[in-house]
Amino acid sequence: MADHADNDNDGEIFLYRGGRAPLHVSHARIDESVDVIEDEAFRDCRILVHVETHDGIRKVGQWAFQRCKSLMWINLKSAVEIGEHAFDDCENLEVAEFGDKLETIERYAFKGCSSLQRLNLPSIIITGRGSFRCCKALTDIDLSERLETIREGAFVGCHRLRRIAIPLKRGLFSFNVNLQKYNQFDRCDQLTTVDLVGEAHTKVISSLHMKCWRAEMEEEINRINQVLPTTPGNEKTAAIKQWVDSVMDKMDRYKAEHCRFVKEATTLLELALWKARLGEIECSLEPEAKKAKVDAESARRERRITCGADIVIKNVLPFLQLK
């Protein structure tokens, strides 16, 4: 169902309640009863300039705004999913505001949005195949710590892209079977900077046992921003993936070494406690000797409790084993 609202100071505003909007719409308001903007709802509304949304919209359907060439800004802070080709060829779309609920952007959702400049996707899990292909004005991308997959060709042809922020995870890039390569950032010739999102890697590195390990890990993390500026555009993705794998391999190795040191320290401490408790074994002694021994044992127990060795064994050491 589609409807119109009354005229206001900005002219006629189309009130969208579902279905297909008329092609001549220039201003639209999504009714609060609508939580899904349906497939092809505003497709080919080429003079659509402004869409007023609300906080109850959870999904934008397939081709919902495809070829809305006059649309410049949209607020999608409540959306969880954006369907394939939803904003395909919205060439004047400069700003798309996403909130902390958006998890999935389907294939080619923003392909050809050649005016889109920045992306902040704080909760994204999946970016689909070619989802931001040929967004030629895009310069900065901040992805989520929750990100699991960047599919094939997601950012191909983003010629002005300079910086991305991604989590440190294996298997982040999908392999392009047709091209027999990873091509998420092909033709992103100006991509020179990769930052890491999240704090998991920082916590692990700061907790490593040896200072030289921490220094080497930090050096390896910084390496990508030294090699990426001279890496050809069609090799950017391969370089980033190789770097992620290298960082993860080193981190796994040092975590294993760290755990080995912790285990050795635990064993030594347990042996020390066992030795300290040998004196607790009761022997057949004269009453006077027994009394002296009991006093010594009491003092030893008191000192052991005071030094906290028992607490270390049971409660502290397990936390030193890095996950």
% of the chain with per-residue pLDDT over 90: 67
Long-range contacts of 3-12 (CB under 8 A, 24+ apart): 3/31, 5/29
For residue 310, give both structure tokens: 């028992």
Confidence of residue 4 (pLDDT cuts 50, 70, 90): very low
Q: Which segments within the chain are labelled E, that is strand?
A: 2-8, 11-16, 27-30, 36-37, 50-52, 59-60, 73-76, 81-82, 95-98, 104-105, 118-120, 126-127, 140-142, 149-150, 163-166, 193-196
Dihedral, CA atoms, 54, 57, 61, 66, nearest 10 degrees?
20
Residue 104, helix vs strand vs coil: strand
Task: Supply the pLDDT for residue 211.
Answer: 83
Dihedral, CA atoms, 24, 28, 31, 36, nearest 10 degrees?
80
Q: Which of 201, 118, 198 is nearest to 162 (CA)?
A: 118
Residue 303, helix vs strand vs coil: helix
Mean pLDDT value of segment 2-17: 64
Q: Which of 177, 167, 58, 157 is nearest to 110 (CA)?
A: 157
Task: Supply the pLDDT for residue 2.
Answer: 54
Q: Which of 86-100, 256-270, 285-299 has the highest mean pLDDT?
A: 86-100
For residue 179, give both structure tokens: 């091209």
Task: Supply the pLDDT for residue 5.
Answer: 44
Task: Supply the pLDDT for residue 210.
Answer: 78
CA 286 to chain centroid: 71
User: What is the number of other CB atoms lying within 10 angstroms of the CB of residue 88?
Assistant: 23
Global confidence as pTM: 0.79
pLDDT digits (tens, 9 = 90+) for 179-190: 999 999 999 999
Least confident span in 18-27, 108-117, 233-242, 270-279: 270-279
As to burial, measured by CB atoms within 10 angstroms (0-12 exposed, 13-18 middle, 19+ buried), residue 232 is exposed
Task: Supply the pLDDT for residue 13.
Answer: 94
Q: Is the pLDDT reported for residue 48 higher than 70?
A: yes
DSSP string, 222-262: HHHHHHGGGS-GGGHHHHHHHHHHHHHHHHHHHHHHHHHHH
